[in-house]
Amino acid sequence: APGEYTIYAGDGEGCYRTATATLENEGFVVVTDASATGTSCGDANGVITITATSENATFVEYSLNGIDYDLENMFSGLPSGKQLVYARDSFGCIATAEVEVPGSTPLSAEVEISAPICADGNGEIRVVPTGGVGPYQYSINGGSFRDDAVFDRLDVGEYTIEVRDASGCFYEMTQLLDRDCVAALPTAIAPNGNGKNECFQLLYWTYVDIKNYQIFHRWGELVYDARPFNSVEHTVYWDGKVNGQVDPGVFLYNVTFVNEKGEEITMQGNVTVIQ
């Protein structure tokens, strides 16, 4: 401890000498403040600031690992959690402090989609954010941010969705809207010359190649066979006639076409011919 001391020395013959010595306080490092700024956006961007003093020391330096010291007393780019910080003065005295960096929840989002049904322009994307700090705002394809999380009247295509929270954090994702269109064939036709439901025609949002188009009598007899042809060729479709005459009744069909994705779609069922 610092102070003045008396030193005694003697030999075996009874001779003694005394001397005085003074020990001065060369330093005692004390951490006076250690604080943290929490992370944001779930990133490792926390900050710790530490301040220490030491009497008679010419400098105080700081470290996060107790090995690498620097005069800078601020440490950035830190993850959430507890950190042990070190302060060392010019005499080599060391003090430590434990500081906790508050964490944050990263911003994320999912989408609920309604694909365009056959015709363009009726698709919908609903954004569902998670994490971050509300309230949230949303943007599509680089447009202005808005509070409404639903984007409607969308065509087929790829969309870039951005979410921004109250802390200024961003989350970006892409979403493909594909066409959701189901092909249909009539359950009944009425070839009576009025121009309505005159033939057994494939109903689809675009023209496709029909690879197989067969009509069978209900006892299994093939009564009409056309292949291949494009769905735009309306004169090829069956008009309900057998041997040149309209034949009322129930018939079976087997139709295969190739959709816009190159997939073969086979449809089987029955159709009623009404006279």
Q: What is the rounded distance in angstroms from the CA atom of residue 183 to the CA atom of residue 11?
A: 117
Lowest mean pLDDT of 26-40, 105-119, 151-165, 220-234, name the range.
Answer: 105-119
Instruction: Identify the pLDDT of residue 12.
Output: 65
Residue-wise DSSP of 104-136: -PPPEEEEEEE---SSSS-EEEEEEEESS-SS-
- Does residue 136 surpass a pLDDT of 90? yes
Looking at domain 108-177, its CATH class is mainly beta
Instruction: Identify the pLDDT of residue 119.
Output: 60
Question: What's the pLDDT tens digit per position in 212-225?
Answer: 999 999 889 999 99
- Does residue 115 surpass a pLDDT of 80? no
Q: Pick the more confident residue, 229 or 28.
A: 229
The pTM of the whole model exceeds 0.75: no
- Does residue 26 surpass a pLDDT of 60? no
- Does residue 4 surpass a pLDDT of 80? no
Instruction: Identify the pLDDT of residue 199.
Output: 94
Question: What's the pLDDT tens digit per position in 150-181?
Answer: 999 998 889 999 999 999 999 999 999 887 67
Instruction: Identify the pLDDT of residue 24.
Output: 58
Instruction: Identify the pLDDT of residue 163.
Output: 98
Query: What are the beta bridge partners of residue 5?
Result: 21
Structure tokens at 47: 């900050």
- Does residue 263 surpass a pLDDT of 60? yes
For residue 117, what are the contacts with CB-CB under 8 A and spacing of at least 6?
180, 181
Pick among 2.60.120, 2.60.40, 3.40.50, 1.10.3470: CATH of 188-273: 2.60.40
Q: Pick the more confident residue, 4 or 190.
A: 190
Range(s) within the chain of domains with CATH label 2.60.40.1080: 108-177
Query: Which is it for the CA torsion 244, 246, 248, 252, positive or negative?
Result: positive
Beta carbons within 10 angstroms of residue 69's beta carbon: 16
CATH level 3 topology of 29-101 = Immunoglobulin-like (2.60.40)
Instruction: Identify the pLDDT of residue 31.
Output: 96
